[in-house]
Chains A and B, each alone.
Chain A
Amino acid sequence: MVLFAPTPSSLYSRLLAEMVHREDELELIGVAVRSMWSWKRVRGELRRDGARLARKIYNKLWLGEGAYPPGEEETLAGLAAEADLPDENLAQMARRFEAAYIQKPDLNDSTLVELLTRLSPDVIVFSGGGLVRKAVLEIPTMGVLNCHSGILPTYRGMDVVEWAILEASGQPEIGLTLHFMDRGVDTGPILLHHHEQVREGDTLDRIRRRLEPQMVRLMMSGLRGLRDENMEAQPQAKEDGRQYFVMHPRLKVSAAEKVRRLAAGC
């Protein structure tokens, strides 16, 4: 398999790389990372994330694992500690695993397409790095796997934890979906779901942090299922879900307030 990553230091991507390496009969043969400082990327992410981009850069690139609250175990940092993840970036990990490593401003770059064609992976594991176009989607024999932070097919697109909470009349439909990517937005065939409940003392941030280590676990379950040939992806019907977009800050305040009420009633 080949791993697609948003940055060389992404904790989610590093955990996936390490866990795949430790798993029998799964082999990481390549790592493709999106260059951080390209104008196209900054402009695209600024348009998509707006004011949130500053916080995202600060948390991911500056604070790193220090962004996680101490004492909160169900986080990516907690999983990294549990797995004794070496303090290496993806380039160093790729060297250790003797896997190809490439860094490009765009993961659809023709050089990368050539490399992927040569490597001919069964699966590309997508852990971030922007839109993946048709030429790349068609290379792996099984497909490109993505873990979406919402329950598909209902919640496609952005901020789906918040949307699910805001729209819920009772317990919100929050969780994760492991699916193969296609040319639509979160419309590809579904492999697995993970459902999450609102717990006492929860906030939106805490729910998101709790989902992150589950993304690694769900991805690994899917890879094992594909390896052992005991898992089959179920296609989605377009009309079974809706696409959601970045939530307005005022609606996000309402979602946060609703979580507080739900968490108080646990």
Chain B
Amino acid sequence: MKRDWFEPLVQAAESWLDDSAGEAEYERFVRRSVDDLGRALQDPVDQPPWAGELQQAVENLKKTSIKFSESFGSSEATALRLPAEEQAVEWLNVRSEMGIVDKGSVERFTAIHLLSILQGQDGAGDLQIKAFVETLLRHVELRRKRCLRLSHGGSTARWFEKHDTAILLARGARKYNDLRYLNAAMKLIDWALPVHRRSVPTDLLARYVLAVSEVQLAFEALT
């Protein structure tokens, strides 16, 4: 096989263009972020609303190869807050006719409502949910970093929607045994990593750490 002195240049170009992160990089990131977020939870009385999300992320990570022995947050902390299933179905019915992606935009809380139905016990809305998740999957894959523009809402709300969508796709991948959903979720967390590498402990960072943990859990369950 012909090889020449261009090979190192090609490898450098590949690495420069590669916007994906490896498992080791995520492990370093979540350990540091969990430490940072954990320090903000020192006061057992005044717990921030995202304490439950951090706790859930740590519980997820304990089930993966990223071994965690720590526990954070009080035992009463609530995990990711989802609307009631009936409320989510109602929300979805209103949007069913116009579609959940309209002119390249979504409404804030789309993923959260879909998550609520996805986790519903009766499975009655499975077909409809699959169709919606498929729409989101195509949207994310085709729009890539320009995906999930919000019809109303600023930059922070958009990042929340992206992380919520990553959680939805990762849980959807496990529920429907569909690696395509996991694939899109992995891309969503990759594209957000540069934004969070140096972020301070906030609710947005906690949501991102939760999204990373859900993706890691699904990755290890499905591959």
Contacts and interface: CB of A to CB of B under 8 A. Distances in A.
Contact of B1 (A54, A55, A69): A69
A243 interface: yes
A51 B17 CA distance: 5
Most chain-A CB neighbours within 10 Å: which of B6, B19, B23, B180?
B180
Interface string A150-181: 00000000000001001100000000000000
A119 interface: no
B20 A248 contact: yes
Contacts of A247: 183
B187 interface: yes
Contact of A51 (B18, B179, B182, B186): B18
A255 to B, nearest CB: 9
A166 B223 contact: yes
A222 B186 CA distance: 39
Contacts of A244: 180
Given A67-B1, A254-B223, A245 B18 contact: no
Interface residues of B, number: 30
Interface in A46-81: 46-47, 50-55, 58, 62-63, 66-70
Interface of A is mostly: helix
A53 to B, nearest CB: 7
Contacts of A55: 10, 14
A249 B190 CA distance: 11
Nearest to B137: A245
A245 B184 contact: yes
Interface string A210-242: 000000000000000000000000000000001
B180 A66 contact: no
B29 interface: no
A51 B16 CA distance: 8
Interface string B69-99: 0000000000000000000000000000000
Nearest to A250: B186
Given A67-B1, A68-B1, A245-B183, A54 B17 contact: yes
Interface of B: 1-3, 6-7, 10, 13-20, 22-23, 137-138, 141, 144, 179-180, 182-184, 186-187, 190, 219, 223
19 contacts: A51-B14, A51-B20, A53-B17, A54-B10, A54-B14, A54-B17, A55-B10, A58-B10, A63-B3, A67-B1, A68-B1, A243-B138, A244-B180, A245-B183, A248-B187, A250-B20, A250-B22, A250-B23, A251-B223
